[in-house]
Amino acid sequence: MAFNTVDITAEPNSQDDLVQLFDEFFADKPVVIQEFPEGLNHNYHKYVVRFLSNAMRDHMKHVCGTNIHYADPISHNSYYMKRKPGHMYLNAGAEHVADTIMTIPCHAWMTDEEIDSVCDILEDGFWKAELQAPNGKPI
């Protein structure tokens, strides 16, 4: 998902409205979206989606042409490994998250056309996944 240069002279969209739009889009999809406690504000320059499997995330990455921003869990970072030896029990959860998340663009200067394009590309990816799913089971 590549977009044109941002026009920062344009009036920004409401981040809350954009996030609500993505929340509604993903509400009936086989994903986990972030939920934040009341009062916690997020700048949402990226919108994080966690798929139910690595295979589905990789399928969506391929179909949508996205990059994976956090491919390696923090526990694989050399600094973390030096500072927290023996804490490798955290790896399983961190690796699962790193293997199943994808970020999509989400910034205040996205145009309505770009927002629609993101949703259309993702919808196409979910549709293709349903077609490819063996025995009707999700990827």
CATH number of the structural domain spanning residue 33 = 3.90.1150.10
Would you say residue 112 lies in a domain? yes
Output the CA torsion 47→53→57→62 (10° steps): -170
Would you say residue 79 lies in a domain? yes
Q: Is residue 128 within 8 Å of residue 45, measured between CB atoms?
A: no
Would you say residue 5 lies in a domain? no
How many domains, the chain? 1
Q: What is the pLDDT of residues 15-63, one digit of tens each?
A: 778 888 888 999 999 899 888 778 776 666 788 899 988 888 888 888 8
pLDDT at residue 114, as a whole number: 86
* pTM recorded for the entire structure: 0.73
Q: What is the pLDDT of residues 68-111, one digit of tens each?
A: 777 777 777 777 777 666 665 556 677 888 889 988 888 778 88
Cβ partners under 8 Å of residue 132, min gap 6? 59, 139
